[in-house]
Amino acid sequence: FQPLDATRAITPLIVSRDNRVLLGPTDLLGTALDLPSLRQAAMASGKATGHTEESWPDGHRYLVGYASDRGLDDYPGMGWRVLVRQRLDEAYSPASALQRQLLVAGLLAALVFSVLGWWVARWISRPLRALTTSAGQLQQGQPVRVPVSNHYEEVAQLGQALNALVYRLQAN
């Protein structure tokens, strides 16, 4: 019984009714295990499967999938349970990698939209700054021709109104 995938160390085990490892890693063969996953599989009586995170005798924490055997017709089965385990750090590494990728993508998107927002704000405020400069020159009594901008309708109307006002003031 070898790990299913040598790069990810997924280890299957078959455990007897009395919790002894029948098939699995050589260091566990014949060992009696007392694990929450085995108790849950025993309570399920072949009707359910499940998974849990638990500490094993080797001191590591594992993600463990479990199932118990099912009999056939009147035969109740042998009471064996199947466990498939993988160390937590290995089991969750794809999710952690995805989380990091999403964080980086989110930060890049925030940066792009911040720069885009800054650029749009400058584009919107440029004609208003030109009108403010013209109004300052008018306040100082300088001859002014207010620039009419066609960036957007409101600024064009304001520029035309200021030009009409300046024309009337200079005509008097």
Which pLDDT score is estimated for 8? 64
Task: Over range 108-124, report the average pLDDT.
Answer: 94
User: Strands of 21-23's sheet, edge to edge?
Assistant: 21-23, 11-15, 81-87, 61-68, 49-55
Task: Tell whether the model's pLDDT for residue 108 goes beyond 90.
Answer: yes
Instruction: Give, in order, the Cα–Cα distances in Å from 149 to each of 89, 118, 163.
Output: 61, 20, 12
Give the pLDDT band (50/70/90) at residue 114.
very high
pLDDT tens for each residue of 52-82: 899 988 889 999 988 887 767 777 667 788 8
pLDDT (tens digit per residue) in 30-47: 889 988 888 888 776 656
Query: How many other C-beta atoms can be found within 10 angstroms of the C-beta atom of residue 150?
Result: 9
